[in-house]
Structure 1
Amino acid sequence: MKELGKINSLLINRFTANGAYLALQEGGEVLLPKSYLPEEIKEGQEIEVFVYTDSEDRPVAVTTPPVALLDEFAVMEAKEITRFGAFMDWGLPKDLFVPKSEMHKEMQVGEKYLVRVCVDFKTDRLIGVSKYQDFLIEDTRGFEEGQEVEALIFEETDLGYKALIENSFEALLYKNEVFETIQVGDKVKASIKKKRDDGKLDLILGSLGRQKYEEGAEKILTVLKAKKFLPLHDKSSPESIKELLGMSKKHFKQSIGQLYKAKTIRITNKGIELV
């Protein structure tokens, strides 16, 4: 079935007590349950739906898509673990099943994992696959250092946070360079810090270079406008700066240096204040 796992614009063939039957591209019909029917919709009209199979393996359409479509990744929470596999919450009434043979590692209820939506061609059902490395691209020549990207945080390690870029590339945020709270499942704005020889990418939150420091300066100004005074200066401890501003001491010093040169702030032995 061509429509499986995708957003489709399908024609309404007929209505029944259970909902509306929509025409499939290669013949046949799929049920859109009554609870998903918009008001005042009529036969012959098209409607956008997501198609998957219900608990009895019958094709069914819904107007609310899951967190990931066919061939897409998403971070999903494990709701139930059996000896055959795991059932993941992906935003639909029927959970997405990850067979044990397709697990990257043993899963635990309540934990979140990176899962790709795939078709099991033996059964023509949608399944989840957490062996994400099978789908990654190692050729990173299309990226440039300093380039801004959106990254999906999918695993925390002792070294840092693993992230996925553009549904195909693995990257890493180092913990000692993260000065704000992030969690598995978050999507963050980051920049390419380094392109590694193993095909992975090193990231840093926010923007690199001059733009980063300007953002830091803007953050300090915002806090000063609200509090009038900050008990921080270039001799303050890195811990104090991180607690109050969520940034490194190096970033802080470069940012207040810009503000001082612009004659926007006054630096005293007790802290900084607006001019």
Structure 2
Amino acid sequence: MEELGKINQLLINRFTANGAYLALHNGDELLLPKSYLKGDEKEGQEIEVFVYTDSEDRPVAVTNRPIALVDEFAVMEAKEITKFGAFMDWGLMKDLFVPMAEMAKPMEKGNHYLVRVCKDFQTNRLIGVSKYEDFIITDTQGFQAGQEVEAWIFDETDLGFKALIENNFEGLIFKNEVFQKIEVGEKIKAFVKKRREDGKLDLQIQPIGREKYEEGAEKILEVLKVQKFLPLHDKSSPDAIKELLGMSKKHFKQSIGQLYSAKKIKITDEGIELV
């Protein structure tokens, strides 16, 4: 079925006590259950629906949209674990099933995992696959250092945070370069640091080069406008700087140096304040 796993514009053929039957491209019909009807629909009207299979593996249409369509990734929460696989929350009444054989690693209830929605051609139903590396594109020549990207954080390791970029590429933000709270499942703005030989991308949260210091300087100015004074200076501990400003000591020193050169702040033994 070509409509499976996609958002489709289908015509209403007829109504029954169970709902509306929609016309498929091959001439068959598909049920849109009554609970998804507003009550003012008419025969011949075009309606937008998502097509998947119900608990009995019968094709069915719904007006809700999942967080991922077929051949797309999403970070999903594991709602239930069985000996056969895991059931993932993807925003629909029926959870997405990830078979045990398609897990990259054993899953735990309540944790979040990167899952790709795939069509199982043997059963003609949608399943989830967490072996994401089978689908990652390693040709990253189209990315340049300093380029801004949206990074979907999907895993935390000892090295750092893994991120999905443009539904096709993998990036890594090193943990020792993170000075703010990041959670799995969060989408953040990041910048390409470099392209690695294995085709993956090293990322960082701050913009590359001089712009980074300008952003840091702007942040310090905004804080000073509110607090008037910050008990921080170039001899403050990295932990104190991170706690108050969420940035590294190196970043802080470069930012206040820029502000001092621009005569925006005054630096004293106790801290910094606006001029």
Which TM bucket (shorter chain)? over 0.9
Deviation at 1:25, TM superposition (A): 1.1
* Aligned pairs (5 A) from 1:152-171: 152-171=152-171
Please state if 1:232 is matched with 2:217: no
Q: Distance in 1 between matches of 2:36 and 2:222?
A: 45
Q: Distance in 2 between matches of 1:220 and 1:64?
A: 44
What does residue 251 of structure 2 align with? 251
Q: Distance in 2 between matches of 1:254 and 1:235?
A: 13
Deviates more, 1:154-163 or 1:252-261: 252-261
What does residue 112 of structure 2 align with? 112
Deviation at 1:115, TM superposition (A): 0.5
What does residue 183 of structure 2 align with? 183
What does residue 68 of structure 1 align with? 68
* Aligned pairs (5 A) from 1:109-148: 109-148=109-148
Q: Distance in 2 between matches of 1:44 and 1:206?
A: 53
What TM-score do you get using the length of structure 1 for normalisation?
0.97
Q: Distance in 2 between matches of 1:43 and 1:228?
A: 66
Cα RMSD of the aligned pairs, angstroms, is 1.2
Deviation at 1:193, TM superposition (A): 0.7
What does residue 101 of structure 2 align with? 101
Please state if 1:31 is matched with 2:31: yes
Q: Deviations over 1:22-70 (max 9, x none)?
A: 1111111222222222353322221111110010111111122111100
Deviation at 1:133, TM superposition (A): 0.7
Deviation at 1:262, TM superposition (A): 2.1
Amino acid at match of 1:88: M
Q: CA distance change for structure 1 residues 229 and 120 in 2, over 3 Å: closer, same or farther?
A: same
Please state if 1:20 is matched with 2:46: no
Q: Distance in 1 between matches of 2:199 and 2:93?
A: 38
What does residue 215 of structure 1 align with? 215
What does residue 91 of structure 1 align with? 91
Q: Deviations over 1:168-206 (max 9, x none)?
A: 111111110000111111111101111111211111013
Amino acid at match of 1:148: E
Aligned residues, how many? 275
What does residue 44 of structure 2 align with? 44
What does residue 7 of structure 1 align with? 7
Structure 1 stretches of 4+ moved >6 Å: none
Q: Distance in 2 between matches of 1:41 and 1:49?
A: 13
Q: Distance in 2 between matches of 1:264 and 1:40?
A: 62
SS at match of 2:244: helix
What does residue 206 of structure 2 align with? 206
Gaps of at least 5 residues in structure 1 are: none
Q: Distance in 2 between matches of 1:148 and 1:216?
A: 17
Q: Distance in 2 between matches of 1:83 and 1:199?
A: 35
What TM-score do you get using the length of structure 2 for normalisation?
0.97
SS at match of 2:4: coil
SS at match of 1:66: coil
